[in-house]
Amino acid sequence: MTTTAILSALAEEQQGLLELLQQPQKTSHAGRDFWQGRLHGQPVVLALSRIGKVAAATTSVALVERFKVGRIVFTGVAGGLGDGVCVGDMVVASGFVQHDLDVSPLFPRYEVPLYGQARFDCDKALTAQLLRAGRAGLASLALPAKTLLHHGLMASGDRFVSGADEARSLRSALRHGGHEALAVEMEGAAVAQVCFDYGIPFAAVRTISDRADDTAHVDFSVFVKDVASLYAQAIIRELMKLL
């Protein structure tokens, strides 16, 4: 059976999953705690990516090299960038771009040097399962009918985007480069690149905690505590049934 890694960025996001973990076994490695066990019968490793691209890459490499996971799924929160991507909605990623990567004029803006590409796509099959799990998870939470599940590109960078102007210019610069991002966060593109390097499937879902605008820091803190963990629990439960 393939072991699935489930990554969260923050402890609050991971809490609900840890409560469900059967036969938990903790290993400390590379300054991080990795929790092996089973979720609904599936072998899993739960880990915190930690915040930012480098930290997330370190965690991902450890999951592959040391814990031999065969796929990585990220659940977390993100700022909404796209029109109609509201707080409480969910976004399942189709792929990732690094919004703060710029090696122009040597390479086109956003392109990762030596890869010849800016975007790293998520695994199609795993993403389809995550979309199904997201729909079922949302339904099980009995949320307001206006809660939407979006599917599209996410942008990652080492910056908490917390200004309406900043969010707007980030979005239009990305659009100028041909990337229409629905949400912004700080880890996904790094995990996607590591999974690309190792040839293992990756999928990601983020709940929108804020609109990356001037109230982002307030919205974010409230949301992460009260909602993110519940969402992650519901989606992962549904995903485990589909694997």
Catalytic residues: 13, 210
Q: Which tokens hold the place of 218?
A: 């307030």
CB of 75 vs ligand SAH, minimal distance in Å: 11
Q: Does 12 bind ligand SAH (CB under 6 A)?
A: no
Neighbouring C-beta atoms of residue 27, cutoff 10 Å = 14
CB of 142 vs ligand SAH, minimal distance in Å: 24
3: left (phi over 0), alpha (psi -120 to 50) or beta: beta
Q: Among 89, 111, 123, 210, which residue sits at the site for ligand SAH (rule: CB under 6 A)? A: 210
Residue nearest to ligand SAH (CB): 79
The answer to whether the peptide bond before residue 24 is cis (omega within 30 degrees of 0) is no
Q: Does 78 bind ligand SAH (CB under 6 A)?
A: yes
H-assigned helices in 70-163: 124-140
Q: Strand pairing of 90-98 and 120-121?
A: antiparallel
Neighbouring C-beta atoms of residue 186, cutoff 10 Å = 25
CB of 10 vs ligand SAH, minimal distance in Å: 6
Q: Among 9, 39, 63, 192, which residue sits at the site for ligand SAH (rule: CB under 6 A)? A: 9
Contact between residue 112 and residue 193 where contact means Cβ atoms under 8 Å apart: yes
From residue 136 to residue 175, the character string flagging contacts with ligand SAH as x (rule: CB under 6 A) and all else as - is ------------------------xxx-------------
Binding site for ligand SAH (CB under 6 A): 9-10, 51, 76-79, 160-162, 184-187, 209-210, 212, 216, 220
